[in-house]
Chain A
Amino acid sequence: AQSVTQPDIHITVSEGASLELRCNYSYGATPYLFWYVQSPGQGLQLLLKYFSGDTLVQGIKGFEAEFKRSQSSFNLRKPSVHWSDAAEYFCAVGHAGNNRKLIWGLGTSLAVNP
């Protein structure tokens, strides 16, 4: 069965520190991979996506993610976190042949200390 695992439920980092949020997926076919962010009271905003090609993808707000097929991972990174990055981060996978249904991880809540 398709699944997405985000091992870290909650992470706290200091402002200016680097960040890595983990995402592992279980999928039998070529996945389409997404990271979304949800700030309080806001909808789910797309940070970045991977469909094919370069396995290192750049997104908005200075985020990037690297697709590693051998590890079934799609970890999200940011070199220097800002206080405004505090939010809930969701990893999701879509079927290469049918992107209509996204499978989601549980999310990682990020807190940023000043």
Chain B
Amino acid sequence: EPEVTQTPSHQVTQMGQEVILRCVPISNHLYFYWYRQILGQKVEFLVSFYNNEISEKSEIFDDQFSVERPDGSNFTLKIRSTKLEDSAMYFCASSILGGGQGETQYFGPGTRLLVL
């Protein structure tokens, strides 16, 4: 069964460093998402991406965040200058469709980011 994969599974970085989290969505899916979960808090939507552009983003997704689909398979989340409060589990998801169809979002296993 196709699945969303994410790398790395864990990443430790120093405050102020740039990190890139990688995701490989399911191959025939067209919508891609990033969510994050700070320890002990709710899963929060960050951004959705379709047709090589952001379709929606949350207030969390400020200028230090960016997303990219550099090739036909990868979907990346970049954090330019990490802060302590960026420490969280980051989930990537994909869906065949999005918006009003109730399409299921399929999630990867997550990347646990720790900023020191």
Contact = CB atoms under 8 A, between A and B. Distances in A.
Interface of A: 4, 32, 34, 36, 41-46, 49, 51, 90, 92, 94, 96-107
Nearest to B41: A106
B107 A43 contact: yes
Contacts of B95: 99
Interface stretch (B14-22, B62-70, B74-82, B97-105): B97-105
Nearest to B100: A97
Nearest to B107: A44
B11 interface: no
Interface of B: 3-4, 6, 31, 33, 35, 41-45, 48, 55-56, 58, 91, 93, 95, 98-110
| A interface secondary structure, majority | strand
Nearest to A44: B107
Nearest to A4: B42
B91 A44 contact: yes
Given A36-B107, A41-B109, A44-B91, A99 B99 contact: yes
B42 A104 contact: yes
A100 B99 contact: yes
A32 B109 contact: no
A90 B31 contact: no
A67 B108 CA distance: 27
A49 B33 CA distance: 19
11 contacts: A32-B102, A36-B107, A43-B6, A49-B102, A51-B102, A98-B100, A100-B33, A100-B48, A100-B99, A101-B48, A107-B42
Contacts of A90: 43
Given A43-B4, A105-B42, A106-B42, A99 B107 contact: no
Nearest to A105: B42
B43 A101 contact: no
Nearest to B56: A100
Contacts of B93: 44
A104 B106 CA distance: 15
B44 A104 contact: yes
A52 B99 CA distance: 15
